[in-house]
Structure 1
Amino acid sequence: MRVRTTVVAASTLVLCLAAVGCGPDDGEDKDEGAGKKAGASQTPASGAAATPEAGSSATPAGDGRTLTEAELAKAALTTGEVKGYEVAPLEGTDERGTEKAGTEACRPIAAIINGSPEPTPAATVFRTAMDTAEEGKDDQTVVTEILTSHPKGGAEELLRSVREAAGACAGGFRTTSEDGPSTYTEVRTLPATRAGQESFAYQVTGSLEGVRVPLVFQLVRTGSTVVTFYAANFLGETAPEIPAALVTAQAAKLP
């Protein structure tokens, strides 16, 4: 399994997502039809074994508490808990993205691209997981995690709104930000690794200087906590993969 992305892009956050959202885009996709065709042929994460909207009993139901930041940090993965992966706090999280979707229906997708899932969480913790076997390589596997805790009903609302937005924005959408406009040509659901009480995965195809950039997300909910996994491919158009081992191990740690 390989998540082809750059460590620099991952560690600057705004999930650099802002790298796709990172910078002005002329808004014109010169070959949008071809891009959608390429996206449709891309392979989702190996190990995915559930329908996009399926939940799972793979982990306990959770105690429903709204976790504090300290409790989220304790629940986050650490180095050694998933073989071959180094886990560390993500730097630069004080600066979030500023992208605003052109349509309200796509706002939940843009919020996650900004690194600020909605509704606003009670606490947030960021982590990054890197495949140590690929250290030093441009295509080193890098996965960003956003752990968020929510008041009663907020975690369910987050999953519901993102799922609805993925359907409503399948044909793409545009955003504006402090860096200028950005274009996303496609949003599509993916098979999701079974984990937690509820799991949902999707791909957003961005445009960076005319090159399509696939961004893959998986959200996992256990009780009032949601973990958002993110991976991007800045080196080519093949969809990245979020290793199932990371997803299931993280979900298993949630109280």
Structure 2
Amino acid sequence: MRTRIRRAAVTTSGAVLVLASLAGCGSDSTTPGARAAQSATSVSGVPARPLSQAELWNAVITAEDVPGFEVDYVQSRNAPFRPGIPANRLPAVFPAACAPAYWSTQAASAYPAGARIDAMAHTTGTPEQFGNVVLTDYSATGASAAMADLRTSLKACAGAHIERHDPLAGGISFTRPTLRPGPRLGDDALTYRITQNVAGDDLDPEPLEVPMTFTVVRTGTTVVTFWNQGDATSATPAVIAPPLIPAQITKLTRFAKARHSTV
């Protein structure tokens, strides 16, 4: 029981910290990802025009979009988007090439975001299914660049121990990132698995290895990060509740197309 409580506490605190510090990260647009984004094309038909925080609320799923699920949100609907600390002022990630993979575990990147909503969904009955959904909206090229950097980072860091030399990291590091094919949705998509390593503490000195699964989909200027964590006592890969991904991407695509047709 202590293991599960500690694991939940670490994950929850990490999600809250990222809202305060990473939501508006900025970066030099001359990175490889930024250059690759210049030639990005839209497969979904959604124009590369950013959405505001208010518009993003109209694009995020609700319980009506996924029958049998409850959906909760970290942010208040009326709260304005608050840019976070620039990336060049954050503690460095080691190895440096693995920084995009590290920040992706917190649904963030080095590119400046203009809007963000964090949602958590779970079934109201059995069998229990869970999933976290984060919508982050970028500039016209930022979303494509973030995806390009993430894919490159995951390939380069397959055997790396990824960590951040910072007390706020809470003894968390990542290992064994494994890039997998993503769903055929949006303009670009990938899936990856990664192990979250949690150091022991005074209450539970045994370190934990928590399997995590992420699916990241770009539609227009919005990057949607879906993720879930497995049980630290089992090597079974974490599973994201299957209905969440198509429901969210369908709603985002429909809203973005309708919004841009009236602009």
TM-score (norm 1): 0.71
Task: Work out the CA distance in 1 between the residues paired with 2:132 and 2:194.
Answer: 15
Larger mean Cα displacement after TM superposition, 117-126 or 69-78: 117-126
Letter in 1 for 2:150: V
The secondary structure found in structure 1 opposite 2:248 is helix
Q: CA deviation at 1:103?
A: 1.6
Q: Which of residues 45, 49, 71 is equivalent to 1:87?
A: 71
How far, CA to CA, are the matches of 1:187 and 1:17 in structure 2? 22
Kindly name which structure, 1 or 2, has the bigger radius of gyration based on alpha carbons: 2
Alignment-derived partner of residue 150 in structure 1: 138
User: Could you tell me which amino acid in structure 1 is paired with residue 214 of structure 2?
Assistant: F
* Paired residues of 1:124 and 1:146 also in contact (CA < 8 A): yes
Query: Greater helix share, 1 or 2?
Result: 2
The alignment's C-alpha RMSD in Å is 3.2
Q: Note the C-alpha offset of 1:115.
A: 4.1
Deviations 1:71-111 (A, max 9, x none): 11110000021122111212699999x77421211111111
Question: Residues 212 and 125 of structure 1: is their aligned pair in 2 closer, same or farther, counting only changes over 3 Å?
Answer: same
Higher relative contact order (CA 8 A, sep 6+): 1
Aligned counterpart for 2:214 among listed residues 214, 217, 237: 217
Residue in 2 aligned with 1:198? 188
1:227 correspondence with 2:224:
yes
TM-score by length of 2: 0.69
- Distance (whole Å) between structure 2 residues aligned to residue 204 and residue 193 of structure 1: 18
The alignment covers a number of residue pairs equal to: 208
**Corresponding letter in the other structure for 1:216:** T
Q: Pick from 65, 88, 101: which aligns with 2:93?
A: 101
Contact 1:11 1:91 in 2 (8 A): no
Structure 2 partner of 1:253: 251
Structure 2, unmatched stretches of 5+, are 19-40, 201-206, 257-263
CA distance in structure 1 between the partners assigned to 2:178 and 2:45 by the alignment: 28
Which of the residues 110, 115, 118 maps onto 2:102? 110
Identify which range, 147-156 or 235-244, moves more after superposition.
Answer: 235-244
Residue 199 of structure 1 aligns to a residue whose secondary structure is strand
Runs of 4+ off more than 4 Å: 5-11, 91-96
> What are the superposed Cα offsets for residues 108-143 of structure 1, whole Å, 9 maximum, x if unpaired?
1111234433312111111111121149xxxx4321
